[in-house]
Amino acid sequence: YLIDDPNYSFLKDLGLDKKNVGVFNGKWEANGQLIQSYSPANGKVIAEVQSASAADYEACAKAAQDAWHAWAELPIPSRGEIVRQIGDALREKLQPLGQLVSLEMGKILPEAIGEVVEYIHVCDLALGLSRTLPGTIFPSERPGHVLIEKWNPLGLIGVITAFNFPVAVFGWNSAIAMVCGDVSIWKPSDTTPLTAVAVTKIVESVLVKNNIPGAVAALCVGGRDIGHTLVQDRRVKLVSFTGSTAVGQQVGVEVQKRFGRHLLELGGNNAIIVNSDANLDLLLNAALFACAGTAGQRCTTTRRLLIHQQVFDEVVSRLKKAYASVVSRIGDPLLPETLIGPLHTPAAVEAYKSTVAEVVKQGGTIEFGGKVIEREGYFVEPTIVTGLPHDSPLVKSECFAPIVYCIPIADLDTGIQYNNEVDQGLSSSVFTENLGDVFKWIGPHGSDCGIVNVNIPTNGAEVGGAFGGEKATGGGRECGADAWKAYMRRATVTINYSGTIKLAQNIKFGD
């Protein structure tokens, strides 16, 4: 167990042990299978987590529902104060929690710390909301009447998260939902269970200090069985699901069947368009991070470079040089010199290998990379592909690995057409110096994605803006100024203080 190795003493700073309990509902108790958590950098077991049984899930749901009543009655600014304290507790554990994310998920330490910072930022956003949550009074057409829009918490919500952002995605949901007055059950990815336990311990420490029932933020570590149970549970008013399009589609249908609400954050197939007038220095700098960073394991990773034919050869040749300059810096994500870490699982390595084989079979050219790196852990070479048609099924699907397809375009209109022709609609960017092209890109005939950037990579969002995508990305939005609406229910209240009954539209019945 890596937890016994003094090099990983930060695990103990987070209250983790060799065997951890993966269920929290005010108390820590689990009866499900033991899950081993592996480091993708070396394939070794970090520690173990006992997951939730069906009965454990039931206990969580019941405890969370019971906890909701008092939580919903707490004034909103008081809930904001709890979230502020969670932000501070995260600040205190920033370094060890970042190290754990790096060790368990595999992203490099600066990105892992950035992910914890994102949770802290969303706590700040939620704190502000706790003093500003709006409700509108509308003019009524009836004399002596008033129309009020009243927002109330949903109650119990479920948060199912993906492996690649094991802290931030929970934080985006939890901080805002807490301020809104909801309680939650978190079902994290079963390949990042230690991170989920560590985050929940931090949240628990704040709840305990304030005499708030822990079940306000319940945790159920488990696999698809627990996810499925949560999705089916009618008590769960909203299922916020982050993960692949295939699973998200099933989740959406299941939740809809019981008329629950869903918030879906699914796969992407993000493109950067390189205009003929693009600043190529800027582009190359951005593209390296966007295509190869996080070993291609961001939902917003650039998977397609749509490059104007006038600069196509130059961009591909310079990108190859840029990739060549970082291959020596692929390695242990916890080391300061590392720029690119491993893939998360052996299954991801297999998906990478079969995609590369299929590229070759279909007549594509591997311009750079294409191989698994022979060392312990799950490392692959970042890969550049040319020669596949823009509408090839490979180009149109998301392989969650560092493979980018370079495709020539004749003009911006063609670039926009290609950008929009895939099923997914998460993130997109154009590199140009032309103001008219910028406005075309962000206008009705421009990108159809939820994230539409100019002269920056497709990845690396801020919490101030709404995050999410259209089409097969699921249509959900998290963060941003009005994210709270997803976690509340809206009632239109009409109050009559006139002393007589008057009907709308001035309807009068005959005598």
Give the residue numbers marked as catalytic.
Answer: 265, 299
State CA 342 to chain mean position distance: 19
Q: Cα separation of 111 and 131, whole Å?
A: 31
425: tokens are 């609609």
Which residues are near ligand NAD by CB under 6 A? 160-165, 187, 189-190, 223-224, 227-228, 231, 242-244, 247, 250-251, 265-268, 299, 398, 400, 426, 473
Cβ-based nearer residue to ligand NAD, 51 or 85: 51
How far lies 331's CA from each of 207, 241, 373, in Å?
38, 31, 10
Buried b (16+ CB within 10 A) or exposed e, 8-18: bebbeebebee
We find the least distance from the C-beta atom of residue 491 to ligand NAD, in angstroms, to be 29
Q: Give me the least distance between CB of 158 and ligand NAD, in Å please.
A: 9
202 or 472: CB nearest ligand NAD: 472
> What does each C-alpha distance from 403 to 352, 359, 370, 385, 433 come to in angstroms?
8, 10, 8, 7, 27
Q: Which residue has the tokens 């890969």?
A: 383
In angstroms, give the least distance from the CB of 9 to ligand NAD: 28
Distance between CA 148 and CA 491 in Å, rounded? 8
Structure tokens at 132: 């500003």
Cβ-based nearer residue to ligand NAD, 268 or 480: 268
Q: Identify which of residues 257 and 329 has a Cβ nearer to ligand NAD in the complex.
A: 257
In 217-365, which ranges are continuous DSSP H helix?
224-232, 245-257, 280-287, 312-326, 346-361
Q: How far is the CB of 6 from ligand NAD (least distance, A)?
A: 31
- Closest contact distance (angstroms) between CB of 61 and ligand NAD is 15
Q: Which is nearer to ligand NAD, 181 or 469 (CB)?
A: 469
Cβ atoms of 362 and 388 within 8 Å: the answer is yes
Give the 3-state secondary structure percentages of the chain, helix then strand then coil, rounded to 5.
40, 20, 40
Between CA 14 and CA 461 the distance in angstroms is: 27
Which DSSP helix (H) or strand (E) runs through 156?
strand 156-160
Nearest to 430 by CA among 316, 282, 327, 211: 282
Report the C-alpha gap between 380 and 366 in whole angstroms.
14
Work out how close the CB of 500 gets to ligand NAD at its nearest, in angstroms, rounded to a whole number. 52
**Of the two residues 446 and 468, which places its CB atom closer to ligand NAD in the complex?**
468
Q: Are 271 and 418 in contact (CB under 8 A)?
A: yes
* Residue 49 or 322 with smaller CB distance to ligand NAD: 49
Nearest to 89 by CA among 18, 12, 171: 171
Between 109 and 160, name the residue whose CB sits nearer to ligand NAD.
Answer: 160
Spatial distance between the Cα atoms of 349 and 355, rounded to a whole number of angstroms: 10
Minimum separation from the CB atom of position 98 to ligand NAD (A): 18
* 302-308: strand order across its sheet: 365-368, 383-386, 403-409, 302-308, 270-274, 427-431, 451-454
Output the residue with the shortest Cβ distance to ligand NAD.
227
User: What is the closest distance, in whole angstroms, from the C-beta atom of residue 437 to ligand NAD in the complex?
Assistant: 27
